[in-house]
Amino acid sequence: NQLLQKLSVTDGLTGLYNRSKLDMILVDQLARFKRNNRPFCLLMIDIDYFKQINDELGHIMGDKILMTVSTVLLKSIRAIDYAARYGGDEFMIILTETDMDAAIKTAERIRTQASALCQAFDASPVKISLSVGIAQSQHSDIMPNDLIARADAALYEAKKAGRDQVKIDCGRALST
């Protein structure tokens, strides 16, 4: 039963939480935020040009990159934070009790470490980059999708600005 429970909330390839579990965690985090007024941040992370990497280098290398990025995510967060595979080459991180400044530092560290690790592959180094969008919890957030939409908009801005960078949700409240 424990194995089935674990399999139902994790992504088979990366071992990170899956999208369903991510939604449950976000509901819980929003409730905690409303109770305790301690902000948390959501990072939406995308591997730049991943489809092209898969097409040119093959799906086995694509899977290796996904697993490498997942390892970087897990090593870059605290035990109280959460990492999930949102779908395809998109990942989400929930940084509990974290403000925007700390979230930006974490995002930049993830971005540089993932790129360095993939360039250090033994058989065939791969140059990858990550785009990251960050949103901080707001009292107007009712459902997980409210926060996800803002992180997604920030991610879109990072991609539009040339990729390989971190952008924050500009509509965020400055004081919560």
Hey, which residues are catalytic here?
89
d(CA 36, CA 30): 10
Measure the CA angle with vertex 83, ends 94 and 37; round to 5°.
Answer: 15
**Tokens 């500009």 sit at which residue?**
170
Length, in residues, of the chain: 176
**Tokens 């974290």 sit at which residue?**
98
Q: What are the backbone dihedrals phi and psi of residue 168, each rounded to the nearest 5 degrees, phi first?
A: -110, 155
Question: What are residue 83's DSSP bridge partners?
Answer: 93
38 secondary structure, DSSP code: -
Sign, CA dihedral 22-115-133-60, equals negative
